Structure 1
């Protein structure tokens, strides 16, 4: 392909049109559709309509109707399609990408068919029209495994990062210098169903170290294995009309009594910097507020008493892991954004290492790593190889626990010998766990396990996902049943996601889209009926934000104002929220029946010990008095009933209670969604 000449910027042309493209990857044909201005409200509705029409044969990219506005946080790129990992429709998003994607001039794109060979899809506005080009990547596996040298600083990039930079070097000259962005998958997308789509901002033709993902649901695997697309270049010369945030101030003043900039600052302090806690970002803020609610050593902390959990938090996390973050990242103000101008600067860095809570927790304390140097090594490789870090961490933690317990010989799966692990179970004693040396040993083991999953056929059972792997290992080792220790949410016949890292019932709920925040995940104790109602309310609330193309870090103003902003500034009818409620009802009705009850004994144990945590913390149990009443003996209080059940530790009883709780939550969700209540 001859490199096109650099472009002149297209003249401003009002706002993004309500147009979409359908790209047939098998024959290269492109169909443009002009929608009525209010026919499609946003990228999730667009993706769902394409899924209804084409099923798993469609994959969509989309941005919100405010992506061309000056509002920070309104520029996420959303992908929608079939998730083999979850066995249903799924959606995922990457921050900041829409800031560049808008320059393509078309907000929504559907892929159908399959490219003949691994390819890069180039979506570029050439100054006159949106163009679509498909180019093969003959050296894809070499880029993944051997890497690619970035000319700007000589850094040797691997995996998805190498693919991004190589595509920019080969085809990026055709774009205006500041209006191009790459997306790519790593080798995890080729051999597992858990691959992400990776994207980094671009500065002077080079990707930065700020890595963004369409992370959950394995959408990178779907894109590559079903459509043979390994990378995209997006952007071009289309320019929206210019406007100032001042045009939005009247809306914010009417709702919040202050200008947009002021509202933005005060509603995002957790993610920027909170003077009250002296920290910021998800890593800093979540650990600062965690207290005894720590999950570590693959959930084995759940079985430890509260004083021991607090001791581990103080000695291992606040005294070392979090302290390193504070000294290196917060004190030095190493803050970046995701690629769009945003004052929140939520990306907390330490040089080339981006620190977020859930990746650095699942690939941190949950796998026996409490040192930043060790965690950086594992997270950087996981990111570059295109793994969902939460899913990978849940899988590694399960394997580490089972290997340490002697459930199976890890060398039979191509993993290192068991004695190389330092995963002795929960401890809060630094004399029993060297925070630096033992963390480093566990990081070494994790890296060799990642390598085996990618390249060693003996590890093939691990490529099918944690649920299938757990059942496979139980069948292979029936006397030890290592799969009984696994923690995952089940959907369909094979689908599974590792829960997000908050030990609350909402994160284990039977909602149709899990792995995201479409649930109530606060620590307030609710009845199972109320939890079901709140899960539905949160699904609708999150969809209001997602379908507007917004980052959930801005949800404090985004959710309550999306409808007003879209009506006042983009001409949508004032029924946006009702449209989203109907969308939520359709998604729920189509996918809810595939929810499966908790499959492993470990999940039942976690359910039982959740109630022990409530007793340890003196939580008011009146919201669940009715739930436990059938178990009570004459004259017992709810507290006494729970204490007796915990002391008896009868698995059959707790299995029955867990099933009844799960069923009650599910029934409440169905009833609430039928009414589409929003709180």
Structure 2
């Protein structure tokens, strides 16, 4: 790998060649060499690593993700976040990864091209040309440095306002047509989970990276279709394009379901297993959940499906120009995926699709992680519902309707959407003491502080703030909120969560079997990220990844990545710890009841701890680790 090391303290940079299979392998190694496990995540000496895998620039779509490796202000250990499509243009600079240390005196944007590197002092512009937030900053960079974008066919990765004021800042990248000075429809993506934007902006005062140039694929064989087809025929008995089309059908268009993409497929697929109202739906009888999902399909899913798959047929990709999956479904100019829209929709008590669109847009402008904000909004709403907070204490103008048994979707969705907007804005602007505490500390530490602040109410209500929100626990202060699936694997004692590095199937098993299946998935997902691969392509890529590495790069894939992250987490005192809150535990126990488990009834707290302990012991044993 050719890596660019930027030292912002010295305002200098240098290029080095290193042997590493991919950006995750590189990132873990660099953090271990710097012994960052003992440092605060936002310490400027903690490196921020962003790069691409070895198969970029070829005729196999999907290998064009940018991968960020950083010490997360949420988990307090290493985290990995992925951003679709951007490596297609970033590879032109001839740099496989950027490693940033130190802190710039003023906000800085790093410009990379095939002709060199430049560090420019640029204050982020968040209102510009009728755009706001990260979109405004991207447009400002495009207009101000148009010659660079045109000459090098460049793309930017930027932060939004949230990265400058909260723990929950994302990296935002919107592909552009530099000649026309326009954004490409649907070609926008976010590396959001774990706070990478915050790590970059608060830790290093870097607010953007712009890259492009004339370099092409690092390895010639990635363009050799005879070789690629040979590999596929050996594994699948079919040529590459046929295999890819079959394995990615869910994300493009599934004729059997009459829809496509994560949003289109997940609602009719998961149905009554969808988590609603901040996971309160896990306590509802199945027949009540069915009533809810029928309203969601009518008010939330159908308007999207009719517009995107019947009328406009507006499907695009993320900027990976060779990719025919066109997973980006665009509703009247807004890219629609399941998790951000579910986070601002049914998860917060909003079943009207049109009400969710401006909320997702606001989150994207701010450069926030939508999944985390879904948890924050639902938590604030439920705290008000339970009487732990008054609306005005959270900066809200009214009381949300957050009881699924008395929720009227046509009437109450608009109210909840309006109040969600107040929470989001107040979170970034710290407009109330409660929201300031959450924005500066994250959910886990904030729950402790709010328990102290409202001690009398906690005693009177009989619920802690931590009982009303679902998160997994790392070490003393770290945590991660789960992706929006009712799945025990999303809250199990895995070392990396908030991504799909686990068994995320909505099912239940004994802890030993569940741990083994989750470890297998975690190892596979770590390899996907190290290769810079979009996981929508995992169906065809995983079975041939070993062969591709050996035949193309001459090196085997690094199958020890997950274990290396686990060992780092142990040094960072950020191992998984037992659940702190009631609802997090019940994601496991209610699924056990849903599938009719006879062995695991979770009748007392010891049952929860026993399942958690046996899962983690099996996981650690599978990694060859001892306590």
| TM-score for both structures, normalised by structure 1 | 0.85
- Corresponding residue SS for 1:208: strand
Name 2:80's counterpart in structure 1: 91
* Alpha-carbon distance in structure 2 between the residues aligned to 1:489 and 1:123: 38
* Alpha-carbon distance in structure 2 between the residues aligned to 1:531 and 1:178: 48
Instruction: Please report how far the alpha carbon of residue 247 of structure 1 lies from its aligned counterpart in structure 2 after TM superposition.
Output: 3.7
Instruction: Please report how far the alpha carbon of residue 246 of structure 1 lies from its aligned counterpart in structure 2 after TM superposition.
Output: 4.1
* Alpha-carbon distance in structure 2 between the residues aligned to 1:413 and 1:312: 28
Corresponding position: 1:188 with 2:151: no
- Corresponding residue SS for 2:250: coil
Corresponding position: 1:572 with 2:522: no
- Corresponding residue SS for 1:84: coil
Which one of 364, 369, 373 corresponds to residue 388 of structure 1?
369
Which one of 478, 488, 492 corresponds to residue 505 of structure 1?
488
- Corresponding residue SS for 1:479: helix
Task: Determine if contact 1:518/1:542 at 8 Å carries over to the other structure.
Answer: yes
Task: Determine if contact 2:22/2:54 at 8 Å carries over to the other structure.
Answer: yes
Which one of 100, 107, 121 corresponds to residue 89 of structure 2?
100
Name 1:123's counterpart in structure 2: 112
More displaced 10-residue stretch of structure 1: 501-510 or 50-59: 50-59
Name 1:9's counterpart in structure 2: none
- Corresponding residue SS for 1:663: helix
Superposed CA offset, 1:285-310 (max 9, x none)? 11111132121112121111001111
- Corresponding residue SS for 1:212: strand
Instruction: Please report how far the alpha carbon of residue 133 of structure 1 lies from its aligned counterpart in structure 2 after TM superposition.
Output: 1.1
Name 2:404's counterpart in structure 1: 426
Name 2:305's counterpart in structure 1: 326
Task: Determine if contact 1:490/1:597 at 8 Å carries over to the other structure.
Answer: yes
Unaligned runs of 5+ in 2: 459-463
Instruction: Please report how far the alpha carbon of residue 107 of structure 1 lies from its aligned counterpart in structure 2 after TM superposition.
Output: 0.6
Superposed CA offset, 1:89-132 (max 9, x none)? 11111000110111011111111111111111111112xxxx22
Name 1:634's counterpart in structure 2: none
Relative to structure 1, is the Cα distance of residues 238 and 59 closer, same or farther in structure 2, using a 3 angstrom cutoff? same
For residues 480-495 of structure 1, the aligned pairs below 5 Å read 480-481=457-458, 483=465, 484-495=467-478
Superposed CA offset, 1:378-430 (max 9, x none)? 11001110111000100100111111232222312333232xx233x113x8x
Alignment RMSD: 1.9
Corresponding position: 1:249 with 2:229: yes
Relative to structure 1, is the Cα distance of residues 305 and 524 closer, same or farther in structure 2, using a 3 angstrom cutoff? closer
* Alpha-carbon distance in structure 2 between the residues aligned to 1:183 and 1:207: 13
Which one of 42, 50, 68 corresponds to residue 22 of structure 2?
42
Superposed CA offset, 1:47-99 (max 9, x none)? 11111122252111110100121111011000111111110011111000110
Instruction: Please report how far the alpha carbon of residue 675 of structure 1 lies from its aligned counterpart in structure 2 after TM superposition.
Output: 8.6
For residues 560-639 of structure 1, the aligned pairs below 5 Å read 560-568=543-551, 570-573=552-555, 575-576=556-557, 580-591=558-569, 594-615=575-596, 621=597, 625=599, 628=600
Task: Determine if contact 1:83/1:217 at 8 Å carries over to the other structure.
Answer: yes
Unaligned runs of 5+ in 1: 1-17, 150-155, 616-620, 629-641, 646-652
Name 1:631's counterpart in structure 2: none
* Alpha-carbon distance in structure 2 between the residues aligned to 1:408 and 1:222: 31
Name 2:6's counterpart in structure 1: 23
- Corresponding residue SS for 2:456: coil
Superposed CA offset, 1:434-463 (max 9, x none)? 42x422221111111111112225331121
* Alpha-carbon distance in structure 1 between the residues aligned to 2:436 and 2:536: 37
Runs of 4+ in 1 over 6 A off after TM superposition: none
Instruction: Please report how far the alpha carbon of residue 668 of structure 1 lies from its aligned counterpart in structure 2 after TM superposition.
Output: 0.5
Corresponding position: 1:409 with 2:390: yes
For residues 281-292 of structure 1, the aligned pairs below 5 Å read 281-292=261-272
Superposed CA offset, 1:529-549 (max 9, x none)? 011111111111111211111
* Alpha-carbon distance in structure 2 between the residues aligned to 1:656 and 1:367: 31
| TM-score for both structures, normalised by structure 2 | 0.92
More displaced 10-residue stretch of structure 1: 604-613 or 492-501: 604-613
Relative to structure 1, is the Cα distance of residues 603 and 583 closer, same or farther in structure 2, using a 3 angstrom cutoff? closer
Relative to structure 1, is the Cα distance of residues 205 and 654 closer, same or farther in structure 2, using a 3 angstrom cutoff? farther
More displaced 10-residue stretch of structure 1: 602-611 or 292-301: 602-611
Task: Determine if contact 2:152/2:213 at 8 Å carries over to the other structure.
Answer: no
More displaced 10-residue stretch of structure 1: 249-258 or 462-471: 462-471
Which one of 79, 92, 103 corresponds to residue 114 of structure 1?
103
Corresponding position: 1:235 with 2:212: yes
- Corresponding residue SS for 2:112: strand
- Bigger relative contact order, structure 1 or 2, given CA contacts below 8 A and separation 6+? 2
> Which structure has the greater CA radius of gyration?
1
Corresponding position: 1:317 with 2:296: yes
For residues 265-344 of structure 1, the aligned pairs below 5 Å read 265-314=245-294, 316-331=295-310, 332-341=312-321, 342-344=323-325
Superposed CA offset, 1:444-487 (max 9, x none)? 11111111112225331121211122222111112333512121
Task: Determine if contact 1:183/1:232 at 8 Å carries over to the other structure.
Answer: yes
Task: Determine if contact 1:193/1:221 at 8 Å carries over to the other structure.
Answer: yes
Instruction: Please report how far the alpha carbon of residue 601 of structure 1 lies from its aligned counterpart in structure 2 after TM superposition.
Output: 2.1
Task: Determine if contact 1:103/1:236 at 8 Å carries over to the other structure.
Answer: yes
- Corresponding residue SS for 2:290: helix
Task: Determine if contact 1:608/1:654 at 8 Å carries over to the other structure.
Answer: no
Name 2:427's counterpart in structure 1: 453
Task: Determine if contact 1:542/1:559 at 8 Å carries over to the other structure.
Answer: no
* Alpha-carbon distance in structure 2 between the residues aligned to 1:542 and 1:327: 33
Task: Determine if contact 1:164/1:207 at 8 Å carries over to the other structure.
Answer: no
Name 1:137's counterpart in structure 2: 122
Name 1:469's counterpart in structure 2: 446
* Alpha-carbon distance in structure 2 between the residues aligned to 1:270 and 1:208: 23
Task: Determine if contact 1:41/1:572 at 8 Å carries over to the other structure.
Answer: no
* Alpha-carbon distance in structure 1 between the residues aligned to 2:119 and 2:391: 42
Corresponding position: 1:363 with 2:341: no
Name 2:461's counterpart in structure 1: none
More displaced 10-residue stretch of structure 1: 598-607 or 656-665: 598-607
Instruction: Please report how far the alpha carbon of residue 25 of structure 1 lies from its aligned counterpart in structure 2 after TM superposition.
Output: 1.3
Task: Determine if contact 1:163/1:231 at 8 Å carries over to the other structure.
Answer: no
Q: How many residues align?
A: 597
- Corresponding residue SS for 2:140: helix
Relative to structure 1, is the Cα distance of residues 457 and 438 closer, same or farther in structure 2, using a 3 angstrom cutoff? closer
Task: Determine if contact 1:488/1:498 at 8 Å carries over to the other structure.
Answer: yes
Name 1:206's counterpart in structure 2: 182
